[in-house]
Amino acid sequence: MTTQGGITVSDVPSEVLTFLSGNGGRSLIIKGGAGTGKTTFCLELLEKAGKKGQSFYLSTRVSDDALYNQFPWLRETEMRSRIFDAGKILLDMLVSKEAPPVPRDVSPDQKARVSGAKDFLKSIGESKERPTKVDRTRLTALLQHTRMPEVEHLYDRIEKILPEKALVVIDSLEGITHKYGLEMEEFVMCVQKDLVEGSNANVVMVLEKADAGGIEYLVDGLIALSREEMDERRVRHIRLDKLRATTIAAPRYAATLVNGRFRALGMPRFKANGTASHAWGTVADTPSHFSTGVAAFDNLLGGGYRRGSYNAFDIDINVSIDDYYMLFVPTMLNFLSQGRGIMGVLAGGESPERLRETVVAHIPPNTFDGRVRIIDYTATESSASYILPMGRVSSRADAQRAYEEVERAVRGDGQKQPYIEYTAFDTLEYQQGDQPAITGLFQAVQRTKMLGNLGIGVLKPGLMVSSEIINMMDTYFRVIDIDNTPCIYGIRPRTLVYAMGIDEKEGFPHVTLTPIV
């Protein structure tokens, strides 16, 4: 678990690390189409799960120089020692003055007896000794047909570190088998029997296509990487199809290749009741913009929300209140910490009490009670000063008087401070119908621009007013869930998809965004 731009991320899913840390060797196939991030994932896995001097990356597709150009972080001395490419190994062996060792001839009967004995001992749990020599039974049979210098070199490297466990990445299966005219199944079986079962090594093999072609039953684990276009934006996934003897808590993760590093996005969710109490530090506004309270979001918006702007957030059905509060609570805190107020109409499922509990963990309670007014169209009375019950208001004059009362509270007597007008349009449409809700929106937008306020509109699926609202918005964002990770992207302005997360060091309400690229 590390931090990338502040966001809590699992570079490699914890299930994969648990799988590779089990007793004995494990085999794992990483499959996926071109551009899905297989090489990037394997290099990340090599760094996170491998140990110095005990992990190796064999590339049959590109030279190590090409890898260093694409992944500059591999130039670190410790990582350079793990990379060796097939071309250089072959060249070294061709110019070597010493004759290559001749494979020892092993009869088919002898190979069968050795393999059968090992399989039997493993099946009854009696083969517990740590190997000191690499099993070459299957490799010897393959070498009768053709020399494979890089594979032989790999066996030698593994043998040098025994009885310690090696982690080996072979990139790729197609590269090795096509080069030497082997069936993929026979090569995978060779690696499985000799290195994984016979020599206690962890072996990761890259498959350059999305279909494993029936060889998945030979290995202990299978992971699929994929990418897709969503609303003309790139989204990446990592799917854990099989990890033998390992509990898979999350079978899918959203992923990114930001800065040339693989990141599986899996941050802990924010819960209001479990939020640690610490004071909010005000983020300065600019003369033209209000800060969102989220540094990365400010940058995305060119400095924050423009003063006098109305901003819409289309919330997908599977996004929780906790998820989208990650965006809104920092903005509310930043307003309240500067003596400004909030006028709110909450969405179905939200509650004034819950919002108060979330916010007052970071500011004095009297600040919220004095500067926030929640308009509740269902309540007929309330003992809380911050709730304005509108259940008994029947005339337009009464509604106007109620609004004036709210505005006095949120603007401050004589101060005329700007305030946030937070409106969930599912509540307005349900209470008033679509046409009155649209009329109310026109008034809110006009009021926001005239007073220099900040308007935030929350849209939920299926609203009749959505099309009218979108046309009046200064910005329009969608908040979605990708593989249990809350994400946001802008339609106006157009942006990439960003994963939302809680800063690992600071905790909530400090929120960060990581681009999915």
Who has greater pLDDT, 46 or 224? 224
**Residue 287 or residue 129, greater confidence:** 287
Per-residue confidence (pLDDT) for residue 337, from 0 to 100: 94
E-strand spans in 211-309?
A: 221-230, 233-243, 252-256, 263-265, 289-290, 305-306
Eight-state DSSP code of residue 73? G
Write the burial class of residue 432 (CB in 10 Å: 0-12 exposed, 13-18 middle, 19+ buried): middle
Per cent of the chain over pLDDT 90 is: 55
More confident residue, 455 or 425: 455
Q: Mean pLDDT, to the nearest integer, of 300-307?
A: 96
The residue-averaged pLDDT of 297-318 equals 96
Query: Is the Cβ–Cβ distance between 224 and 241 less than 8 Å?
Result: yes
- Domain boundaries 23-252, corresponding CATH code: 3.40.50.300
- CATH, domain 273-515, list 3.30.565.10, 3.40.50.300, 3.30.930.10, 2.60.40.10: 3.40.50.300
How much is the pLDDT for 203? 97
Amino acid at 151: V
* pLDDT band (50, 70, 90) for residue 102: very low
CA 468 centroid distance within chain: 33
Straight-line distance from the first to the last Cα atom of the chain, in angstroms, rounded to the nearest whole number: 20
Mean pLDDT of all residues in 264-286: 71
Q: What is the pLDDT of residue 61?
A: 64
Buried b (16+ CB within 10 A) or exposed e, 253-290: bbbbbbeebbbbbbbeebebeebeeeebeebebeeebb
Q: Which residue has the tokens 């899913």?
A: 13
Task: Annotate 175-216 with DSSP letters as a single string.
Answer: HHHHHHT--HHHHHHHHIIIIIIHH--EEEEEESSS--TTGG
* 199 in Cβ contact with 134 (< 8 Å): yes
Distance, in Å, from the CA atom of 42 to the CA atom of 356, rounded to the nearest integer, reads 46
Q: CB-based contacts of 58: which residues, under 8 Å, 6+ apart?
A: 84, 85, 86, 150, 154, 168, 169, 170, 171
When the pLDDT of each residue in the chain is averaged and rounded to a whole number, the result is 83
d(CA 215, CA 29): 9
Strands, E, within 60-159: which ranges? 83-85
Q: Which of 58-62, 178-182, 239-243, 266-270 has the highest mean pLDDT?
A: 239-243
Per-residue confidence band for 7, with pLDDT thresholds at 50, 70 and 90: very low
- Tens digits of per-residue pLDDT, 455-508? 999 999 887 777 777 788 999 999 999 999 999 999 999 999 999 999 888 889
pLDDT of residue 89: 43
User: Tens digits of per-residue pLDDT, 52-79?
Assistant: 889 888 887 665 666 666 666 666 655 6
Q: What is the pLDDT of residue 317?
A: 93
Length of the chain: 517
For the chain, domain boundaries: 23-252, 273-515
The rounded distance, in Å, linking the Cα atoms of 507 and 510 is: 6
Fold match, 23-252 / 273-515: yes
| Helix 352-360 × helix 321-336 angle, to 10° | 60
Residue 17 zone, left/alpha/beta (φ > 0; ψ -120 to 50; rest): alpha
